[in-house]
Structure 1
Amino acid sequence: MSPESTGQNEHHISVLRRRFRAWRGNRPFWAGLFTILGGLPIAYFPYASLKLGNMTLAMSTTAGAGSLIIGVLLVTLGLTMWFHHIVRVFAGVAAILLALVSIPVANIGGFVIGFLFSLVGGALSISWARGEPEDADGTPPAGRTHEEHSADALHGPVTVPQQQGAAFGTAADADGGSHRAG
């Protein structure tokens, strides 16, 4: 083995773990997971039945179809956050609205469990922003401080307009703006 071939000694699980970590870091992973976990109880509880000895307790309501639609849409929005993260703001707003609609429609939002998970997932999706890569020493690229980098991320780079004669009343503007040679 040569010292250049470092990949041959790595275990497959650590390689898969690193790939998953890189995939997870480029998208609102936790937002999608919370939204999916919120959609499952909302869709499941209206069709569930609980057996207590010889007695069956059915939790089905007249809004079973509405609960199923809301749950399936929340799961779809969670998957959208994972695989099409460009529309993360839309998916987050839609998840929050569906979570709010699930309170009167779907057994108090899946007995509040689905409501809370979907609400948190939508909020995480709206607030997610792609991170900037850092150097090995933990500073942002080009030796900038975190404060400078944060200011540019919020407001964009500061640009100074170029000085032009007419705008600043310079000597070139003294003769009415006409420039004559010679």
Structure 2
Amino acid sequence: MSAETPVQSAGNFTRLRLRFRDWRGSRPFWAGVFTLLGGVPIAYFPYATLKLGTMSIAMATTAGAGSLIIGVLLFTLGLTMWFQQATRIFAGVAAIILGLVSLVVSNIGGFIIGFLLSLIGGALAVSWVPVKPKAEGAGGQQAGWGPAGDGVAETAPEGAIGQPGLPNAPYEPADGGAGHGVPAEDANGGHRVG
């Protein structure tokens, strides 16, 4: 192995991580994760068997098939949120409704775990909004921002220097500098602007 191999693999890992971050940011990723995870306990618990020594405890109900259907639908809705962003609102509302139905059908919504996860996932999907590209002003810069986009304020319009009341205009005292930079007072005791 050469000394360049770890650097190259680190570059590949970084590139893949950045690609995944871009992919994740362009869709309701966490909504899909919570919805997928919500479907697992709802579908699993009615078919699970817990063994305590020689005793087996089955949590099966008469609606075991209904629990499996709800779990599979939640899993499918989670994938839909990832790969079909246009249907995110439908998928979110359907996940919320299936989570509510699972309270009655599937062992209190997969012992509340699946119910809460599917509700959170559905709510995140409904509230997710795609990022809009930033509008650019003239010259490739946003209005009011410096060349590096670091919040540099705009300069005053031409001919505005020395005019009181305009933003970014330097202050000039009304008495021509005789008052040492303190504005003159008017008859009411307030300061005159110009």
- Normalising by structure 2, we get a TM-score of 0.65
Q: Does residue 132 of structure 1 match 2:137?
A: no
Count how many residue pairs are aligned between Structure 1 and Structure 2.
Answer: 133
Residue deviations 1:24-63, cap 9 Å, x none? 0000000000000000100000000001111111111100
Alignment of 1:20-169 (within 5 A): 20-133=20-133, 142-143=142-143
- Measured at CA, do residues 50 and 144 of structure 1 come closer, stay the same or move farther in structure 2, by a change above 3 Å? farther
Rate the CA distance shift 1:9–1:56 in 2: closer, same or farther, 3 A. closer
CA–CA distance in structure 1, aligned partners of residues 28 and 79 of structure 2: 10
Q: Percent identical across equivalent pairs?
A: 66
Q: Give the CA deviation at 1:130.
A: 1.0
CA distance in 2, matches of 1:9, 1:113: 39
Q: Report the Cα distance in structure 2 between the residues aligned to 1:9 and 1:86, rounded to whole angstroms.
A: 36
Q: Which has the higher helix share?
A: 1
Distance 2:52 2:74 in 1: 31
The answer for unaligned runs of 5 or more in structure 1 is 1-7, 136-140, 146-182
Following superposition, the deviation at residue 134 of structure 1 comes to 5.6
Structure 2 gap segments, 5+ residues each: 1-7, 136-140, 146-194
User: Cα 1:123–1:53, aligned 2, differ >3 Å: closer, same or farther?
Assistant: same
How far apart in 2 are the matches of 1:49 and 1:88? 35
Which residue of the partner structure matches residue 152 of structure 1?
none
Separation in 1, partners of 2:143, 2:115: 44
- Aligned partners of 1:60 and 1:126: how far apart in 2? 33
Give secondary structure in 1 for the equivalent of 2:69: helix
- Following superposition, the deviation at residue 131 of structure 1 comes to 1.9
SS of corresponding position for 1:50: strand
Q: Which has the higher contact order (CA 8 A, sep 6+)?
A: 1
RMSD (Å), alpha carbons: 2.0
Counterpart Cα distance in 1 of 2:63 and 2:9? 56
Q: CA deviation at 1:80?
A: 0.1
Q: Distance in 2 between matches of 1:91 and 1:125?
A: 7
